[in-house]
Structure 1
Amino acid sequence: MKKKITIMFIFLFFSMIYVAPLFIRSGLVHYNNQDAYFHLARIDGLATVWKSPINFISFHQIGSDVNQFYPWLLIYPAYIFKVITGSTILGYKLYILLVTFFTMLIAYYSMKSIKNNGKTALIFSLIYTFSSYHSTDLFYRGSLGEFLAMTFLPLVLAGAYQVYYGDEKRWKLLMIGMSLLVYSHVLSVFMVGILLFLFAIFSFYFWDKKILRLLAIAKAALGTGLLSLGFVIPMLQQNAWQEIYSPTTNLINGINLSELLKNTMLNNINGYSIGAVLFFGILITFYNYKKLTKVDLAIYISGIILFLFVSNLFPWHFISTTLLVRIQFAWRLSTFATLFLAYGLSVGLTPNKKIELPFFISLIVLVVGLNTFSVYNIYKSPSVYNLAAEASDERVILTDEISGIWKNQMFFDYVSVAAQENSSLVIPYAFVLNKEQIHPEVKNHGDYVTISYDNQEGAGQLETPFLKYLGQQATLNGKKVATEISSFGTTGLAIVKGQNEITIQYHYTNVAIFSAFISFMTLIGFISWEIFLIYQRKKDDGR
Structure 2
Amino acid sequence: MFFFIVSLAFHLMFIVSNRIIYYNPTDTIFHLTRIVGLENVWQSPVNFTTFAHHGTAMNLFYPWLTLYPAYWLYSLSRNLVWAYHVYCWLTTFATMLISYWGFHTLWPKRERAIVFALLYALNPYRISDIIARGALGEVIAMTFLPILLVGICQILRRDPRRWYILTIAMVLTAYTHNLSLLMNAVVILVALLVTWPRMTDRKVRLLALLKAGAASVLLCLPSLLPMAQWSRTNALIIPSARRVYSTPLGQLLTATGLTDAFTNNIGLIFFVIMIMLLVFSRRLTRMDCILLGTAVLLFWTTTTLFPWSWLSWTPLIKIQFAFRLNCYISLLLAYLAAKNYPPLTQPHRPWLPWVAILAVAGLMVGTDLTMTTTAYARAANRQVVLTNKRLAYLTHYYNHHDYGNAHYRDHPSIIDKNIFKLHNRRAWPRNTITPNTYTMRIANDSTTPAVFTIPVYHYAAQRVTVNHHASRGVLNKSGTTDVLIPPGKSVVRLTYHYDRLMLASVAAALLTLAGLPVLIRRQII
TM-score normalised per structure 1: 0.91
Inter-CA distance 48–254: structure 2 relative to 1 (3 Å threshold): same
Q: 1:366 aligns with which of 357, 363, 366?
A: 363
Match of 1:492 in 2: 482
Identity %: 29
Amino acid at match of 1:490: T
Structure-2 separation of matches of 1:333 and 1:412: 26
> What is aligned with 1:413?
402
CA distance in 2, matches of 1:435, 1:110: 61
Deviation at residue 167 of structure 1 after TM alignment: 1.2
Partner of 2:451, secondary structure, is: strand
Question: Kindly tell me: are residues 106 and 448 of structure 1, through their superposed partners in 2, closer, same or farther at Cα, counting changes over 3 Å?
Answer: same
Match of 1:132 in 2: 124
**Structure 1 position 88, deviation (Å):** 1.4
- Counterpart contact for 1:54–1:447, Cα < 8 Å: yes
CA distance in structure 2 between the aligned counterparts of 1:82 and 1:173, rounded to whole angstroms = 31
User: Which residue in the other structure is 1:154 paired with?
Assistant: 146
- Supply the distance in 2 between the matched residues of 1:526 and 1:288 (Cα, whole angstroms): 44
Whether the 8 Å CA contact 1:382–1:397 is kept in 2: the answer is no
1:180 shift after superposition: 0.4
Question: Is 1:443 the equivalent of 2:440?
Answer: no
Residue 309 to residue 382, structure 1, CA distance change in 2 (3 Å): closer
Structure 1 stretches of 4+ moved >4 Å? 380-383, 527-530
- Pairwise CA distance, 1:20: 2.4
CA distance in 2 between counterparts of 1:11 and 1:251 reads 39
- Distance in 2 separating the partners of 1:241 and 1:251: 27
Deviates more, 1:261-270 or 1:478-487: 261-270
Cα distance between partner residues in 2 of 1:190 and 1:115: 28
Equivalent residue, structure 2, for 1:54: 46
Query: Secondary structure in 2 aligned to 1:52?
Result: coil
Q: Contact 1:278–1:345 (CA<8 Å) still a contact in 2?
A: no
Q: Is the 8 A contact 1:300 1:343 kept in 2?
A: no
How far apart in 1 are the matches of 2:157 and 2:371?
37
Corresponding letter in the other structure for 1:507: H
Structure 2 CA distance for aligned equivalents of residues 162 and 264 of structure 1: 40
Question: Which residue, out of 503, 520, 525, partners 1:513?
Answer: 503
From 57, 70, 93, the counterpart of 2:62: 70
Residue deviations 1:412-449 (CA, integer Å, cap 9, x gap): 11111012432222111111122111111111011111
Distance in 1 of aligned mates of 2:11 and 2:238? 31
When normalised by structure 2's length, the TM-score is 0.94
Residues 55-109 of structure 1: per-residue CA shift (max 9 Å, x gap): 0011111100011111011101111100111111111112112211110000110
Q: Deviation string for 1:213-254 (max 9, x for gaps)?
A: 001101110111111111000110111111111111212232
In structure 2, do the counterparts of structure 1 residues 105 and 202 end up closer, same or farther at CA, with 3 Å as the change threshold?
same
Secondary structure at 1:429 match in 2: coil
Does the Cα contact within 8 Å between 1:57 and 1:407 map onto a contact in 2? yes
Q: Does the CA-based 8 Å contact 1:264-1:279 persist in structure 2?
A: no
Where does residue 467 of structure 2 map in the other structure? Answer: 477
Which residue of structure 2 lines up, in the alignment, with residue 390 of structure 1? none
Equivalent residue, structure 1, for 2:374: 377
Over 3 Å counting, the alpha-carbon distance change for 1:100 and 1:452 in structure 2 is: same
- State the secondary structure of the residue aligned to 2:453: strand
What residue number does 1:323 align with?
Answer: 315
Assess if the C-alpha contact under 8 Å between 1:264 and 1:274 holds in 2.
no
Structure 2 residues not aligned, in runs of 5+: 347-351
Which residue of structure 2 lines up, in the alignment, with residue 279 of structure 1? 271
1:442 match: secondary structure: strand
The 3-state SS of whatever aligns with 2:220 is helix
Residue 406 of structure 1 aligns with an amino acid whose one-letter code is T
- Counterpart CA distance in 1 for 2:421 and 2:43 is 29
- Deviation of 1:367 (Å): 2.2
Mean CA deviation greater in 193-202 or 279-288: 279-288
Alpha-carbon deviation of 1:166?
A: 1.2
Secondary structure of the 1:412 match is: coil
Shift of 1:272: 0.6
Q: Which of 386, 395, 400 is residue 388 of structure 2 equivalent to?
A: 400
How many angstroms does 1:263 deviate by? 5.8
User: 1:254 pairs with 206, 221, 246, which one?
Assistant: 246
The aligned counterpart of 1:431 is: 420
Greater mean alpha carbon deviation, residues 86-95 or residues 442-451:
86-95
Aligned length: 516
Instruction: Report the equivalent of 1:540.
Output: none
Structure 1 vs Structure 2 CA RMSD: 1.9
Alpha-carbon distance in structure 2 between the residues aligned to 1:444 and 1:468: 17
C-alpha displacement at 1:264, in angstroms?
7.2
Q: 1:316 to 1:116 in 2, by over 3 A?
A: same
Give the 3-state SS of the residue equivalent to 1:99 in structure 2: helix
1:350-383 residue CA offsets vs partner (Å, 9 max, x unmatched): 5263653442333223222212221122235876
1:459-504 Cα offsets, whole Å, 9 max, x none, are 1111110111121101000100011102211111111100110110
Provide the rounded CA distance (Å) in 1 between the counterparts of 2:138 and 2:497.
Answer: 28
Cα distance, 1:336–1:522 mapped onto 2, change above 3 Å = same
Bigger shift: 93-102 or 156-165?
Answer: 93-102
